[in-house]
Amino acid sequence: MHKQRAFIGHHGPELLDDGTTRFRIWAPDAQNVSLIVVGAQTLPMTANEDGWYSIDAPYGAGTLYRFLIDDELQVPDPASRAQAGDVHAPSLVVDTSSNYLWRNPNWLGRPWEETVLYEMHVGLYGGFAAMEKHLADLAELGVTAIELMPIAEFPGDRNWGYDGVLPYAPEAAYGSPEELKHLIDTAHGLGLMVFLDVVYNHFGPDGNYLGRYAKHFFRHDQQTPWGDGIDFRRREVRDFFIDNTLMWLLDYRFDGLRFDAVHAIPDRSFLTELAERVHASVEPGRHVHLVLENEDNRASLLTAGFTAQWNDDGHNVLHALLTDESQGYYADYHQDATTKLARFLGEGFIYQGQNNRRGEARGEPSGHLPPTSFVLFLQNHDQTGNRAFGERLVSLADADALRAATAVLLLSPMMPLLFMGEEWGARQPFLFFTSHHGELADAVREGRRNEFAEFAEFADEATRERIPDPNAVSTFENSRPDFSARQEPGHAEWYALYRELLSIRHREIVPRLQGARFLESRVLAQAAVLSRWQLGDGSRLRLELNLGTQAAPLPTALINGELLFASREATHAHDQLAPRMARLYLEKAT
């Protein structure tokens, strides 16, 4: 067992050696601030420089408290380490240095090349403690890292997590800080890394009081899809989020973070400073991985301290080819899809400065980056849950074509991400759910339905009313995967496929990934491409992929190589690739 020293940031309570606690809050627009100790007393706080208020009070771990702004508004600590209930409840002083004794204190993570990510929603598993029961199965499957959707305190007890308003506090409905640490510790004992999805581009619509006492936390001249942008020009704001990153990595020992929608963070210098601070703060030899979601395809960030980016381009073109869908953003990928498929497999991003359907230039050149800079997925929370009825690919695509695409997902030198239940072909939907109330609940429900008004099948209001209400308990419950179905007919076959592919990946691909690079990718026929990558040991990986309905001709000068996997039996001549088929060969160095 091991007790570690707590990370001390600029925001939030600090337990002092004499058993007292230093409370502080940045409230530059408040005339006065007091500390309310629940069940005890109210103490005026001292106004310091630059809008800070603080007080050293004779209270320790377990203390419930609020801040009183201008003698009229009670608010939780914006850097609360835990809440005694929901986002409007009192905050709780937590002794992060002694509230948990680590069983695996020497865990240093795993190299990025070994990563196989598995995205999970804690609430659908029943909380931190209940999620632990599934970790051994994931490790046995070949997963090496679980990725938790956001867990920061959000209003209510059902939410995707992107409505968080207290980014330092683990969601009370999921369990305590100690239970979160136990989950991470258990994962480490099984050889699993743990990643966390964090949201630094906006706050949720209910429970964020910063605009009342720290108006300049936000930029009124800069809008995001969620309202005023966050003002990352301010030191206090930068420290609020950078300290949050360091808390998750140092106090909770997460192995990596996924940063949501950084295209809504226009201040690039904040992102590069964050990466620099992280790498300077973690202990030598420890593997910590920083992963971006970035619609702008800013490849240059991937040489500025960030490990990789979710490759929406790769998903979108594969989805368009698997389903023939062309509405919404799939319109950017449906047209000339085969050429775009070849570019994605040969260079990473598809949009590297080209105009999208709106005539907007998007992206930066990416072919110089290693393929390990790109996280590839066929499904994730967005791509499944943003559908009106949350259908999974197994219900949308031809099975042979989906098996071929799965081979690309798990055997290409890009880094694979699975979405919970995908590995056994789960058919339960993953829907958009919240637990708002009153007018906000009405607005969210109507806003959700209006998102689909431009789609032909939802043109009339009556059809849109069939879209599940995000606030209904049934919407949440219907999204819960049936974990018992894994061995049932129709599911066991998918599970066996994922196990086989991940076994091949760990045996043949992972040891050769360091130093891998893109080599070539060319069109063979409609929806068919040939791609090759140079691996770190000098060998080459060759993919023959045909997602179309007609056989595709193969070049006669191919080096045969060692066949690693074929997604189905060959039914055509040796110089042709059967429809809806993938083959991967390893051309070993001589």
Tokens of residue 381, six digits = 């929370």
- Partners of 407 in the beta sheet? none
User: For residue 83, what is the DSSP state?
Assistant: B
State the angle between helix axes of 337-347 and 312-323 in degrees (0 to 180), rounded to the nearest 10.
Answer: 150
Rounded CA-CA distance 187/190 in Å is 5
- One of 119, 231, 251, 293 is an active-site residue; which one? 293
Our answer to whether residue 243 is catalytic in this structure is no
Give the side-chain half-sphere CA count within 13 A for 341: 29
- One of 260, 332, 469, 587 is an active-site residue; which one? 260
Q: Quote the strand ranges of 83-209, DSSP E.
A: 91-92, 117-120, 145-148, 152-153, 166-170, 193-198
Tokens of residue 584, six digits = 């991967």
363-394 residues labelled b (16+ CB within 10 A) or e (exposed): beebeebbbbbbbbbbbbbbbbbbbbebebbb
For residue 374, what are the contacts with CB-CB under 8 A and spacing of at least 6? 308, 309, 311, 314, 348, 349, 366, 414, 415
Rounded CA-CA distance 105/116 in Å is 23
Rounded CA-CA distance 350/344 in Å is 5
Rounded CA-CA distance 119/197 in Å is 9
Element (H, E) at 31: none
State the angle between helix axes of 399-411 and 312-323 in degrees (0 to 180), rounded to the nearest 10.
Answer: 160
Give me the sheet containing 528-534, strands edge to edge: 517-525, 528-534, 540-546, 581-587, 562-566
What totals of helices (H) and strands (E) does the chain contain, helices first? 16, 28
Closest among 396, 441, 402 to 423, alpha carbons compared:
402
For residue 161, what are the contacts with CB-CB under 8 A and spacing of at least 6? 121, 149, 150, 151, 152, 154, 171, 197, 199
Our answer to whether residue 147 is catalytic in this structure is no
Other C-beta atoms lying within 10 Å of the C-beta of residue 304: 12
Rounded CA-CA distance 353/209 in Å is 39
- Amino acid, single-letter form, for residue 271: L
Closest among 95, 97, 115 to 255, alpha carbons compared:
115
Rounded CA-CA distance 120/113 in Å is 21
User: For residue 250, what is the DSSP state?
Assistant: I
Q: Which residues are catalytic?
A: 260, 293
